[in-house]
A and B are shown apart, each in its own frame.
Chain A
Amino acid sequence: MYEQDDFVYDSRRPIAPYAHTRPTTERDWIKRTLIGVAFAFMLLVIVLPLALVFVEAFRKGAGEYFMAFGDPQSQAAIRLTLLVAAIAVPFNLVFGIAAAWCVAKFEFPGKAFLTTLIDLPFSVSPVVSGMVYVLLFGAQSFLSPFLKANHIEIIFAVPGIVLATIFVTFPFIARELIPLMQDQGNGDEEAALSLGANGWQVFRRVTLPNIKWGLLYGVLLCNARAMGEFGAVSVVSGHIRGKTTTMPLDIEILYNEYNFAAAFAVASLLAMLALVTLLFKTVLEFRYGDELAGTRKH
């Protein structure tokens, strides 16, 4: 590329006797070793367990695999998981939009504290997340006589599972939208308002199109966690097979019964959900990276 006597830095030509390589990168063998270490580590820690799920699920053949889904209890678990996610995700979606609107569009004291509180469920152990509802609504709680008198079942029933799921997936959508809307500022909304739009029109026609990919991103992550939550749901569920077992709990029961093929068959569904979520996530980041908060570059 360069003439021999051009005074241009060239990686192929040592610039000083002691400089064996470009001073702002590593030697090739170090590069190759590090790439090798990264691949080996990821293979061992992450790819191998994932591959094992599918291998174990099909160990006894496709017939056995699909038979696992014929089991009425597993079917009930799949239905319950879908139901719980279908309730929990919209609830957190509405909350996420409301929280992002008031935090990103307005200035008020205690805003940082409010965002910390919104993030709180992320740092609480799943077991504790479920347990707080057991203390609040369980048989030994002060609300228990009232609930019993009105025949309301929360703990060891579906409402408790929904509540625990909402708790653990609480911050997902809000924390995706807050930085995104803060970055976008109020300019677009103010322009729409000055042109005579009302509040709802501003949200639907201006804000929503601006945040749609970030919103979808948040919903995907929220849904993946809602369908896969184990610890919190386990504490409030009571493990009544066919009634209060979600897919992760069904996996636990099957596994503990040494019914490994069925356990891994149900697990493979959740693993596929995870893979699809990751695929969507990667595509969203690749195509709309600058419209997502998490990957926003300056």
Chain B
Amino acid sequence: MTVAMNHPAKAGWRFVKPSVIPGFGLTFGYTLLYLSIIVLIPIIGLFLKAATISPEQIWKIASAARTLNALKISFGASLIAAIVNVIFGLIVAWVLVRYKFPFRRLLDAVVDLPFALPTAVAGIALSTLYAPKGWIGWLVSANGPLHLGWKIAYTPTGIVIALIFIGLPFVVRTVQPVLEEFEAELEEAAATLGANRWQTITRVILPRLTPAILTGFALAFARAVGEYGSVIFIAGNLPNISEIAPVLIVIKLEEFDQAGAAVIAAIMLVIAFVMLLVINLIQTWARRRFGDV
């Protein structure tokens, strides 16, 4: 509730709606200043740097085989990891919301671990776990009891494993609240109308969860595309095979090829903006379709 200080017709246009609460100028000014110094100016600087490069040069960097392969690996692995996360994240969220069982609260708390565990720690742990002599790596290797001959660490599969680890909470934490607020009446109505459980789930519950699932997918995907710390240890970082785009940026920076790094970074930033936009569009669409999500 705000109190109108002046009659709107007399006050004319004002940037901020009149309010008795003090401190708008101070907090708004500080927010803009701090945002500009820390985030906006550095990011604009990146695009200005990329803009100083001639279009032919940009095209050459962007279309180089190594760049394309790095982007392909980054996006491909992120896509697979996000799909895996949607499937298992949905199961975990469902189990946490719908069933009562021992250690439920513990399972719930553990979901957030990838948010809290530093990426470098996750990276060395996953790498050691899936290395040929690691607990899981040995189990699935040719020498292991299963004689599977699988290699996970230092291959693109390892990248996917790391990205599954960091992306899981995004799906669970976006689906879980929607599932908690789900109106039981809808399911009961479907059941009274003769739907069996499978039909109720696929035709009533899943459509209602779709916006949350898509948002979780987009968040997990966006995070995975930019991920660095947890991937570099397990990936092996072989150019064109298991080298992700952020690693290529770091390599270019270490070679003092700032132009090359800036072009790839700009491509990734544009994609990040698009992902942000897509997430916002999904949520706007969901609000219109379902009232609120």
A residues at B contact (CB < 8 Å): 21, 23-27, 31, 34-35, 37-39, 41-42, 44-50, 52-53, 56, 94-95, 98-99, 101-103, 105-109, 114, 116-121, 123-128, 131-136, 138, 140, 163, 166-167, 170, 185-187, 189-190, 193-194, 198-199, 202-203, 221, 224, 227-231, 234-235, 247-249, 251-252, 255, 260, 263-264, 267, 270-271, 273-275, 277-279, 281-282, 297-298
Contacts and interface: CB of A to CB of B under 8 A. Distances in A.
Specify the main secondary structure of chain A where it touches its partner.
Answer: helix
Identify whether the interface residues of B are mostly helix, strand, loop, or mixed: helix
A99 to B, nearest CB: 4
Q: How large is the interface on B (under 10, 10 to 19, 20 to 34, 35 or more residues)?
A: 35 or more
Name the 3 nearest CB pairs between A and B, nearest first: A228-B118, A125-B226, A23-B191
A159 B21 CA distance: 36
B246 A127 contact: yes
B113 A235 contact: no
Contact of B121 (A35, A107, A267): A267
19 contacts: A35-B95, A42-B110, A45-B164, A49-B129, A101-B23, A105-B21, A106-B24, A124-B272, A126-B246, A127-B246, A127-B250, A131-B253, A202-B22, A235-B253, A248-B118, A249-B120, A251-B124, A270-B118, A278-B116
Contacts of A47: 110
A46 B105 CA distance: 15
Nearest to B19: A106
B91 A41 contact: yes
A35 B24 contact: no
Nearest to B124: A255
A166 B121 contact: no
A108 B15 contact: yes
Nearest to B273: A123
Contacts of B11: none
Given A25-B98, A45-B164, A107-B17, 18 more contacts: A23-B196, A35-B99, A45-B88, A49-B122, A49-B129, A49-B165, A117-B40, A120-B39, A123-B226, A126-B227, A131-B261, A230-B118, A247-B118, A252-B124, A270-B120, A271-B121, A274-B118, A275-B116
Interface of B: 1-3, 15-17, 19-24, 26-28, 30-31, 34-35, 38-43, 45-46, 49, 88, 91-92, 94-96, 98-99, 101, 105, 107-126, 128-129, 135-136, 164-165, 168, 180-181, 184, 187-188, 191-192, 195-197, 200, 222, 225-229, 233, 245-246, 249-250, 253, 256, 258, 261-262, 265, 268-269, 272-273, 275-276, 280
